[in-house]
């Protein structure tokens, strides 16, 4: 039996496996610039975050209808359940779909078809987190939050993703303030490729409750001290860090040092269709390659529920 765990850093569009991409392409009459799934997999060699994002956004062209989003989410939830995930807080990127003429309603209603029956079908509770693309304008983020207003009963929080460097958290101060006033929880990617300063800014300017990645905090001992003291959860994604070259190899990943420092770490799969593993695969990899003990793995699993947006009673029940 795999360890029960919560997945807190997962982009639903990043769970689009090549087989489903071709199936949806055929269903929707979309032509992909790859001969077959093998040729597509060949393209999964990334130099950095941007080279991944280019393919990630390109493949989204196959997602067009509510049913497409439902099928995508259902396939992820089945895989996650098989790997011990009992709770998933799922990011989605509405601006990337709006750019193709796919509205907020199609995305949220479609995802909800799968999320709404996930507990009964897969034994996985879920939350939805709307991410703003940080390489789009602050005005576009504000428009996106407005477009989400009719669906806020289905959306737990907001996040910030896409190309990090040159797009500091402070650019999104206003939309995060408005979201907080609407009762939404707040997270942001910071310190993946961007400097430690972006982590501080996400905390101080955006008021985030968790930091997604946060890897580069290790360059700033004072910041590490603060994150430890304030018990700020970090949603680390070790396999993603290897594929996007934030670290050279998995053996070089600072996760053991981060745990040793007392940071509240969780491990997650980010974009598992692209980075070579779902939640259970990630736990296995850090066990095997980084030599984390069974006790450390249990700590990571425990942290994942502690850092989740589940209510306290429900959190205990799912553990
Ligand atoms: N980083 C930033 N944006 C993203 C990622 C990521 O790892 N995956 C999908 N959007
Ligand atoms: Zn991410």
Ligand 1, atom 4: closest residue by C-alpha: 162
Is the pLDDT assigned to residue 319 strictly greater than 90? no
Residues with CB under 6 A from ligand 1: 11, 14, 49, 56, 161-162, 189, 192, 240, 270-271
Instruction: Report pLDDT for 312.
Output: 74
In order of their start, the domains of the chain are: 5-307 (3.20.20.140)
Please tell me the distance from the alpha carbon of residue 153 to that of residue 148, in angstroms, as a whole number. Answer: 10
Q: How far is CA 183 from CA 68, 158, 186, in A?
A: 29, 10, 9
The pair of structure tokens assigned to 99 is 């750019």
pTM: 0.98
Ligand in nearest proximity to the CA of 7: 2
User: What string of H, E and C letters represents the secondary structure of 164-202?
Assistant: CCCCCHHHHHHHHHHHHHCCCEEEEEECCCCCHHHHHHH
**Residue 166: CB atoms within 10 Å:** 9
pLDDT tens across 8-30, in order?
999 999 999 999 999 999 999 99
Ligand 1, atom 3: closest residue by C-alpha: 162
End-to-end CA distance of the chain: 14
Would you please indicate which residues are annotated as catalytic (active-site) residues? Answer: 192
Ligand in nearest proximity to the CA of 59: 1
Please tell me the distance from the alpha carbon of residue 215 to that of residue 224, in angstroms, as a whole number. Answer: 10
Is the pLDDT assigned to residue 130 strictly greater than 80? yes
Is the pLDDT assigned to residue 189 strictly greater than 80? yes
Please tell me the distance from the alpha carbon of residue 319 to that of residue 87, in angstroms, as a whole number. Answer: 10
Average pLDDT, rounded, for the chain: 97
237: CA distance to ligand 2 center in Å? 8
Ligand in nearest proximity to the CA of 275: 1
**Confidence category of residue 87, pLDDT binned at 50, 70, 90:** very high
Instruction: Report pLDDT for 318.
Output: 77
pLDDT tens across 221-270, in order?
999 999 999 999 999 999 999 999 999 999 999 999 999 999 999 999 99
Instruction: Report pLDDT for 315.
Output: 75
- Interhelix angle for 18-28 vs 66-82, to 10°? 160
User: Which of 189, 191, 235, when mutated, tests ligand 1's pocket best, judged by the most ligand atoms within 8 Å of its CB?
Assistant: 189
pLDDT tens across 191-231, in order?
999 999 999 999 999 999 999 999 999 999 999 999 999 99
User: Which of 92, 271, 272, when mutated, tests ligand 1's pocket best, judged by the most ligand atoms within 8 Å of its CB?
Assistant: 271
Please tell me the distance from the alpha carbon of residue 177 to that of residue 91, in angstroms, as a whole number. Answer: 19
Instruction: Report pLDDT for 51.
Output: 97
Whole-number percent of the chain with pLDDT over 70: 100
Strands (E), 105-243: 125-133, 157-161, 185-190, 210-213, 233-236
Helix (H, G, I), strand (E, B) or coil at 8: strand
Q: Is 271 annotated as a binding residue?
A: yes
Instruction: Report pLDDT for 38.
Output: 97
């Amino acid at each position: 039996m795999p360890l029960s765990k919560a997945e807190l850093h997962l982009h639903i569009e990043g769970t689009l496996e090549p087989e489903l991409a071709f199936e949806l392409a055929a269903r929707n009459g979309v032509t992909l610039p790859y001969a077959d799934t093998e040729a597509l997999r060949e393209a999964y060699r990334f130099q950095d975050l941007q080279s991944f994002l280019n393919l990630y956004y390109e493949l989204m062209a196959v997602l067009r209808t509510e049913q497409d989003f439902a099928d995508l989410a259902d396939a992820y939830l089945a895989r996650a359940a098989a790997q011990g995930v009992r709770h998933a807080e799922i990011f989605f990127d509405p601006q990337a779909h709006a750019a193709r003429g796919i509205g907020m309603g199609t995305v949220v209603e479609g995802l909800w078809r799968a999320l709404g029956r996930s507990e009964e079908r897969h034994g996985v509770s879920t939350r939805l987190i709307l991410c703003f693309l940080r390489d789009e304008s602050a005005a576009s983020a504000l428009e996106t939050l407005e477009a989400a207003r009719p669906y806020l009963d289905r959306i737990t929080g907001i996040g910030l993703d896409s190309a990090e460097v040159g797009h500091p958290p402070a650019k999104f101060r206003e939309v995060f303030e408005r979201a907080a006033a609407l009762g939404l929880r707040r997270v942001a990617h910071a310190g993946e490729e961007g400097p430690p300063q972006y982590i501080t800014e996400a905390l101080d300017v955006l008021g985030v409750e968790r930091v997604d990645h946060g890897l580069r905090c290790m360059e700033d001992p004072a910041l590490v001290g603060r994150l430890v003291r304030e018990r700020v959860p970090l949603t680390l994604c070790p396999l993603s860090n290897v594929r996007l070259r934030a670290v050279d190899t998995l053996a070089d990943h600072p996760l053991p040092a981060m745990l040793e420092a007392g940071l509240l770490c969780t491990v997650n799969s980010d974009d598992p269709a692209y980075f070579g593993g779902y939640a259970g695969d990630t736990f296995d990899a850090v066990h095997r390659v980084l030599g984390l003990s069974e006790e450390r793995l249990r700590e990571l699993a425990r942290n994942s529920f502690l850092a989740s947006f589940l209510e306290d009673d429900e959190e205990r029940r799912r553990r």
